[in-house]
Structure formats: C-alpha cells, structure tokens
C-alpha cells in the first residue's frame, strides 16, 4: 500500500493527505484545500509555483526553468504539479 503524507499550507493552516505516488497539486485539488491555483498540471505554466518550507520531496517530472530558477530551487521553490512527497510537508505561497 502506498504511503500517505500530510501536506500543510502554512498561510491558512489547512492540510490534506497526499500519497507518495501522487503530485502534491493533484492531492490539493482533490481535497479542495489550499490555494488551488493551477493551470497546465504538467510543469509548464508556473501557476502552481509555491515554496516548500519543510519536508522531503522529489521531482517526478521536469519543471519549466522559465518559472523556477536554480536559486529558487535551492530555496525550496517548486511547481507543485511536479512534486511528490517523501515525508509530511509544509508549503507556503511564494
Ligand atoms: S499547473 Fe502549470 S506548472 Fe503546475
């Protein structure tokens, strides 16, 4: 059975579950919690750009580097449609 993690939105205190094989954005949309800002759901438009404040995560698809620079990535900024959790996570608006 796939591991589930809890994703908390720092700005609002809302949280939702996310499976380890699911995009954080997809889990947010399904639970209807969080900012719910999204577009392409494929790493291209940059609308789902947020800061990952804490937790472990992986990129499971390429992100548009036009929307996330190397410096952004070092600061934990990523496109949530490209991120899968590897632990509980706290995210926040950029
Ligand atoms: S929704 Fe377009 S990059 Fe994530």
- Quote the ligand 1 centre to 77 CA distance (angstroms): 13
**Domains of the chain as residue ranges with CATH:** 4-92 (3.10.20.30)
Would you give the end-to-end CA distance of the chain in angstroms? 33
Residue nearest to atom 1 of ligand 1 (CA): 41
Cβ-based neighbour number of residue 75 at 10 Å: 13
Is the pTM higher than 0.75? Answer: yes
Three-state SS at 4? strand
pLDDT digits 0-9 by tens, 37-60: 899 999 999 999 999 999 999 999
- Quote the ligand 1 centre to 82 CA distance (angstroms): 8
What share of the chain has pLDDT > 70, as a percent? Answer: 99
- Quote the ligand 1 centre to 25 CA distance (angstroms): 9
Q: How many CA atoms lie within 13 A of 69 on its CB side?
A: 3
């Amino acid at each position: 059975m796939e591991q589930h993690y809890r994703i908390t939105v720092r700005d609002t205190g809302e949280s939702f579950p996310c499976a380890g094989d699911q995009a954080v954005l997809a889990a947010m949309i399904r639970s209807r919690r969080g900012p719910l800002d999204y577009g392409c759901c494929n790493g291209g438009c940059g609308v789902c750009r947020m800061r990952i404040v804490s937790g472990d995560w992986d990129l499971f698809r390429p992100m548009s580097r036009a929307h996330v620079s190397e410096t952004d990535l070092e600061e934990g900024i990523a496109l949530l449609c490209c991120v899968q959790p590897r632990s509980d996570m706290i995210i926040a608006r950029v």
